[in-house]
Structure 1
Amino acid sequence: MTPTPTEAIRAYAEAKSRADPAAALAVCHDEAVFETIPFQAVAHGAAEAAAHFDGFFRAFPDYTVELEYLCEAGDRVFDFHQKCAQLGLSTDDAAAHFAAWRAAA
């Protein structure tokens, strides 16, 4: 059975928290592109990603993923808190803006 997008993201995050590249890649398309923006690293496909993951886990053996608030829209999933942190936004301020936007819609 094919997992929902949210189930796939959770499985991917749990596998990465166990430093298990094979399990993480098992829920990804073979030709997926993986970007690790802070390191300016891009892996094209599962084989390249596995090599990147192996190096990453050697450098960060205690790496864990915490999914706080997943939002699913069709086949797109993102973590609201993580996205705000990446953009330098307060999650409270962003939530207030979204609430105001919804109220006006």
Structure 2
Amino acid sequence: MKSKIGLLAAWAFWVCVCAILALSLAPPSMPMPSTGWDKSNHVLAFATLAFLANKAWPGRIWLLPSLLAYGALIEILQSFTPDRYAEWSDLWADGLGLLVGQVFARLMNWAAQRQSGS
């Protein structure tokens, strides 16, 4: 059975998956949240996904490859929209975000273990 943190992280993960897909395919004329630079938007979005996935399903080695495939799927879908286009550099930024999120999650786990004395 999942902990309350794990359940909350899983719920937040799926909300983020849907939000990222919707924002990625919406016409760029719509006002959207942004860091001001497209690549940092990708890094932030996928770091968030990696962090939440790590909290929801710790130790699952399939998480990061699956999330990178999700990023590739978004790029493919964008190539079929009239206002968006696919970029390899976006997929690289997604991958960087996944690594950042994974490292952050592991640092948080390590800090929690040190604090609890384990």
TM-score by length of 2: 0.27
Higher relative contact order (CA 8 A, sep 6+): 2
Higher strand share: 1
Looking at secondary structure, tell me which structure has more helix per residue. 2
TM-score normalised by L of structure 1: 0.29
